[in-house]
Amino acid sequence: MKTSTSVRAFSNLTFTRAAIALNGLVYLFSGAALLFAPSWFFNTIGNFPPFNRHYSGDLGAFLLPLGAGLLVAARQPSRHRGLIAVAAGATLLHALNHGVDAVGEPLSHWLTDTLPLLVLATVLILAYRRLASPDAS
């Protein structure tokens, strides 16, 4: 029985770390691109006119450290629950914001724009919830 519990705890921790690291990498990359290559980001990833270099840089200035913080938190998630909770909430709000904008858009827009954000939010929320599990470490 103990082995089964240990395997489950390892599996929970592995999922939690991977979910946090995935979101951390996405935020780190997005933040760096928004801060250091805002025109590229606008043309390639987030084409929501009108382009505003200043707002792109502001967003990057917040996302870059959030991504770095999540990457640090992925090493020992139980020590960084507050950061993970804030990031999970922000990720969900981000996805919902895209959902509001996607109303009336074709399915392809939902699948390429809103759904990936909902997936990131969901895995981060699940990771946070798993931290409350007695098997988490």
Categorize the per-residue pLDDT at 123 as very low, low, confident or very high, splitting at 50, 70 and 90: very high
Give per-residue pLDDT as tens, 42-75.
999 988 899 999 999 999 999 999 999 999 999 9
Is the pLDDT at 137 greater than 90, yes or no? no
Categorize the per-residue pLDDT at 2 as very low, low, confident or very high, splitting at 50, 70 and 90: low
C-alpha dihedral, 74 to 114 to 89 to 87, nearest 10°: 30
Which residue ranges make up each domain of the chain?
2-131
Residues sharing a CB contact under 8 Å with residue 48, sequence separation 6 or more, in sequence order: 42, 101
Both tokens of 121, joined, read 């939010």
Is the pLDDT at 136 greater than 60, yes or no? no
